[in-house]
Structure 1
Amino acid sequence: MPSRVPVTDTADYINKAAPVAQPYLQQLQQLVEANLPSATAKIKWNLPFFELGKQYVSIAAYKAHVSLSLSADFTPELLATAKAAGYATGQKRLNIDFDQEVPVDLVKAVLNLIG
């Protein structure tokens, strides 16, 4: 979603995302909700956020990938694992290109950083 279209909730965001991004976003939402059941879903900056105390996870769609971002830094081990598996990362994010599968075990490990 290159431009930030106003949205009301996570489902609205996913529905307004590019069709190629929607299954990725749905799977990430399900993983967040299953692994962080106490998290509260909110919209900030027209993006879905899931807050757990002062920690958060957000999901977003871009032109060529989706992104999972955290308030916590990834461990060096998680960064190395993601990069070895071919996923682009930053200190607090994991990018999943549209020609890649959602790395379920890696996403769960990332979510454990705040859960």
Structure 2
Amino acid sequence: MPTLDPRVDAYIAQAAPFAQAILTHLRAVVHQTCPAVEETMKWSFPHFMYKGMLCSMAAFKAHCALNFWKAELLMGDAAQRDAMGQFGRITALEDLPPVAQLQSYLQQAMQLNDDGVAQPRARTPRSTSVTLPDDLREALAQQAAAQQHFAAFSPSKQRDYIEWLEEAKTETTRTRRREQAVAWIAEGKARNWKYEK
């Protein structure tokens, strides 16, 4: 007999009628395929755990979503969708793959967790190019030491100064920050030098 979390019961009960049928169906398929699954609530929607995260389901105003935690490993490029889950916006049971296909995905996800395969983390490459605002460029050009130190800074240290300058809400604040920045840069100090050890 499956172990049901009363919070998931409450979540389903509070969903729109169309969503209740979808969520109840998904829950039954998960429990049928993986009797050892544990239910929990994370980020305010139901998750199914089996030796780690297996999958989750969610209800919205006009659709539901089913999300496999390691979808890229299960489905490759087909896992990329606009909606929250890998199956797009689910508005009716007919929008879901057949039960056999869902069970296959669940079995594969279980095997990945059994084998201890980690979810690959997508790293967003950060640009190494930095766009220098004209006013900072001109201020640095007037002090050779500041210009030399700034050029030697890593892109992230350069961005720290640029972002601090561009976050100023008034021109007075921007001017004061620019003057302070040039003084610190001329001394070879990073923007947050006070916190460096």
TM-score (norm 1): 0.72
Contact 1:10 1:48 in 2 (8 A): yes
Give the structure 2 partner of residue 37 of structure 1: 35
C-alpha separation in 2, matches of 1:100 and 1:29: 13
More deviation, 99-108/18-27? 99-108
Structure ranking higher on relative contact order (CA contacts 8 Å, 6+ apart): 1
User: Match for 1:68 among 45, 63, 66?
Assistant: 66
SS of 2:109 mapped into structure 1: coil
Identity %: 27
C-alpha separation in 2, matches of 1:10 and 1:97: 19
- Structure ID, larger Rg: 2
RMSD over aligned Cα, in angstroms? 2.7
C-alpha separation in 2, matches of 1:25 and 1:100: 9
Question: Deviation above 6 Å: which 4+ runs of structure 1?
Answer: none
**Residues 28-73 of structure 1, C-alpha deviation per residue, up to 9 Å, x if partnerless?**
0000111111111111111111101123211111233211111112
C-alpha separation in 1, matches of 2:16 and 2:43: 18
TM-score (norm 2): 0.44
More helix by share: 2
The number of equivalent residue pairs is 101
Gaps of 5+ in 1: 1-7, 81-87
User: Match for 1:108 among 84, 103, 107?
Assistant: 103
